Amino acid sequence: MQHGADFDFSVFLGDVNLHVPYAYSHREDLRARVLHHAVLAEPLIVADSHSLNSPMLRSLFAREDGARFAGHDLGELLRRGDLRVSRRDALGAEKVPVTSFRQIQDDHLARGVTDVPPPAYGDWLDEVTEGRVIEFVAEVVAGNFKRGFLARLDRRLADATSSTPRDYLHVLHEFRGWADDQQLLLYRAIRDKKEALEKTAGRESMEALEFVERSASGSYHLAVPTSIATAVSGPRSDELVELPPSIRPTGSTTLPTSIINPTVWQHVPVDAVIEILELPSRQKMLLDLARVRHAGDAKVDPLMGSMGLFADEVEQILDRAFSTGDPAHEMVLASMRRARRKARVTAICDDSNGTTGVRMHVPGEAAAAPQGFFDVLHIPVLVTDSQPWVEQDDRTDTPNNRVVAGTDVSPGPSSPTTA
């Protein structure tokens, strides 16, 4: 993983949750999110099960070529290492050492995991990622998942009142006790138990089972990135689309809107993406951005300057890439030109915990549309003073309102609020 001055530039892509496949409805939407985060990270990381068993993500990387697979679209970014796959070190309770994606694929097939690709895909993934795999300790990730799931149930049970329905509490207590007894807690096992209980569940029990699903999804979302101490991206909680009052702006500057325009990243050619990834100005921007995300109280003025320079150079590359006369490219150019210089990068401070960060957004009504411009908050902590920043994928109504949160900074003491 790329580091500069002891700051890690990597980000884990949290959108691709196999257990909520309806989280992204179109391939182009996922492509836009992958590329937006890829140009602002080095590398952008996806989990092994995602890279294998998500048909939509696979379609961005490779396509069948007879009996083999060949790189397609973003597959070149995997080969270059701009996108990397985090791979478990061992399989199962026996802790069988893992040496290939094909080995994981065969295990998934034997266990009846859904959407396992043809064997040749695992072989292709092994070939293009050789020497660039990011290993994680499966036992640590499993522990993170179990602790996260139990913690979510415990918080909900602690918040229960005398008016909380008895059936609702019964389901949570049953899952809490059962999960605590599992030596190895698997998402699939939670799903199986949930589906069995749904057959006889009443309304209150169904509501509790939906919360169980969201709790498992939220814990799954964070289990790998917290194990490798990298930042994680994802949709912001719907309650945090409008930022809480504790977060105040401390400065702002304009940017070309293209860098947060999903239409651009849906259609940009891969060769233009590679040109962007190789810009010298990007390295300075990544260092400043990583410092903000990992230091917790970093000065954000340097990032506002380096982000502006990088975004201007990105705009020039995109102008050339889409100036081909192709009608589809003309549509993208029109989108870019209608919105020029309307985006902003805004320095923020969270007075509830003393952390600093930045927000990339388009002020006003355009940014509030569910499929409008990206509105991305880069913040060093996973939670506000009351709730997680990252929403479970299947719940959010505004997937382009996003957060990239650090996983290795603990909030400090609150600072006085400035009027």
Among 96-100, 229-233, 327-331, the least confident range: 229-233
pLDDT (mean) for 18-36: 76
- Distance between CA atoms of residues 218 and 155, nearest Å: 13
pLDDT at residue 239, rounded to an integer: 60
**Comparing 12 with 379, which gets the higher pLDDT?**
12
Q: Whole-angstrom distance between the N-terminal and C-terminal Cα of the chain?
A: 41
What are the tens digits of pLDDT across the range 391-417?
Answer: 554 445 667 888 888 765 443 333 332
Question: What b/e readout covers 149-172, taking b as 16+ CB neighbours within 10 angstroms?
Answer: bbebbeebeeeeeeeeeeebeebb
20 pLDDT higher than 60: no
The closest alpha carbon to 42, from 132, 144, 137, 138, belongs to 132
For residue range 351-377, list pLDDT tens digits in order. 887 888 899 998 874 444 335 889 998
More confident: 29 or 410:
29
CA distance 208 to 200: 13
Distance from chain centroid for Cα 16: 7
The pLDDT of residue 222 is: 83
Distance of CA 237 to the CA centre of its chain: 13
Give me the mean pLDDT over the 12-32 stretch.
73
pLDDT at position 415 is 31
Positive or negative torsion for Cα 266, 269, 270, 273: negative
Q: Does the pLDDT value for residue 84 go beyond 60? A: yes
Q: How confident is the model over 367-392, as a mean pLDDT?
A: 64
Is residue 350 within 8 A of residue 332, CB to CB? The reply is no
Task: Note whether 283 and 4 are within 8 A (CB).
Answer: yes
Section 41-70 average pLDDT: 89
pLDDT of residue 396: 52
Identify the residue whose tokens are 């072989």. 123
Mean pLDDT of 131-154: 93
